[in-house]
Amino acid sequence: MDKIIPETLKKVVEEISNLPGYGEKSAQRLAVNVLSMPRGEALNLIKIFMEMLEKVHPCKECGIYTEEEICPVCSDEERDRSSICVVEESFDAFAIERTRKYRGLYHVIGGRLSPLEEITAEDLNIESLIRRVEKYPVKEVILATNPTVEGEATASYIYNLLKNKGITISRIAYGLPFGAVLENADDFTLSKALEHKTPI
């Protein structure tokens, strides 16, 4: 039965389903969607991916994806350097930026603790956060990981590492339903969540 599936298609599905968030079914769907696109469009898509891989990388300071060495937030002199907002992924920071309610800096940890997916603290950019807090005159860290079981666990892990460093640690408030994902929240909800952040 397996012989009927073309080798390259099998390989692509296998590779995609290795990505977090993709199961076999969604990997198959993506592969088939690309295959059924007009050739020119599909090749263009791949070209855009190549360009992204060439140009986009994490900011050296905060980890936000950027085409510069230092991202526009970190290089903006007007930003409040005493505040760091910790997010799971770049798109969470982009969502918060959209609200225009936050004027501090970010730190992207690149995921969340997940025993199920075997993601431990060493896999995340947590050490670099601690280094930043120790090196710069940071007064406040806002933990804006997602309101999921894993996001909460990650926030409390970071809280424990920072609690004796003499800074204010806040958790973003959630009008967001538990289990919601930050990057999908509308601007109003996200603004409120930022406004009503509470010190832990």
Provide, rounded to whole angstroms, the least separation between the CB of residue 22 and Zn ion.
Answer: 28
16 contributes a contact to Zn ion by CB under 5 A: no
Q: Which stretch binds Zn ion (CB under 5 A): 64-72, 76-84, 86-94, 192-200?
A: 64-72
CA atoms within 13 A on the CB side of 18: 5
Neighbours of 17 (CB within 10 A): 17
CA distance 68 to 66: 5
Question: Residue type for 127, please?
Answer: E
SS3 12: helix
CB of 63 to Zn ion, least distance (A): 7
Which residues on adjacent β-strands are paired with residue 171?
143, 198
Q: Of 74 and 109, which has the nearer Cβ to Zn ion?
A: 74
Please identify, using beta-carbon distances, which residue of 31 and 64 lies nearer to Zn ion.
64
Considering CB under 5 A, how many residues would be counted as binding Zn ion? 6
Residue 64 or 194: which CB sits closer to Zn ion?
64
Binder among 62, 109, 113, 143 for Zn ion (CB under 5 A): 62
Residue indicated by tokens 């832990």: 200
d(CA 133, CA 5): 52
Residue 31 in the binding site for Zn ion (CB under 5 A): no
Q: Which stretch binds Zn ion (CB under 5 A): 3-11, 67-75, 138-146, 174-182?
A: 67-75
Query: Taking the mean position of all CA atoms in its chain, how far away is CA 113?
Result: 12
Look at the block and give the residue holding tokens 């956060």: 129
74 touches Zn ion by CB under 5 A: yes
170 phi, psi to nearest 5 deg: -120, 155
Q: Which stretch binds Zn ion (CB under 5 A): 5-13, 15-23, 34-42, 58-66?
A: 58-66
Which residue's CB is nearer to Zn ion, number 93 or number 172? 93
Contacts with Zn ion, residue ranges (CB under 5 A): 59, 61-62, 64, 71, 74
